Amino acid sequence: MVMHRPSKAVPAGGGWLALVDLWRGVALCNVLDDAPVLRMFQLPVPPPRGVCVEMYDASSIRDAAVGAGGAVRFLLLSFDEDDDRDGGGAWTATAWRREAGSEYWFRVFQGRRRRHILADDSRFLHLLSVSKV
């Protein structure tokens, strides 16, 4: 038995419900089936070594979304203290996508910054918009 503590529950369309544990993975279940089966898969990046995942909220550095077709997107934000030259905080955002029925994650985006992005900076408003998976 795998430990799974959902951070959130997300409807995935057609009776499917995704239980997202941002440290461990996603459990999918069609709750309308007569005999529902729980399908689990791991996220593309394991929790950091040496971190007691029971003590930390993953939502500050990880997120996941599930589209109506069952495709899952996963986002990881990581910080690099060694590359903090200008005091703005160096960080990397990486996004993966896994299609419904696939066994593989595909990295779809990776961006690295060495300074803060302000939410009121109009050049980055498209990053705040909601899009379908």
The answer to whether residue 1 sits within a structural domain is: no
The answer to whether residue 44 sits within a structural domain is: yes
Look up residue 99 and give its amino acid.
E
Q: How many domains is the chain partitioned into structurally?
A: 1
pLDDT at position 88: 57
Domain that holds residue 84: 8-127
Q: What is the DSSP string of 29-47?
A: EETTSSS---EEEE-SSPP
pLDDT at position 120: 57
pTM of the model: 0.72
Tokens of 110: 């990776």
d(CA 30, CA 106): 24
The answer to whether residue 132 sits within a structural domain is: no
Q: pLDDT averaged over consecutive 10-residue blocks of the chain (133 residues)?
A: 74 87 88 90 84 78 84 86 60 88 90 62 54 44
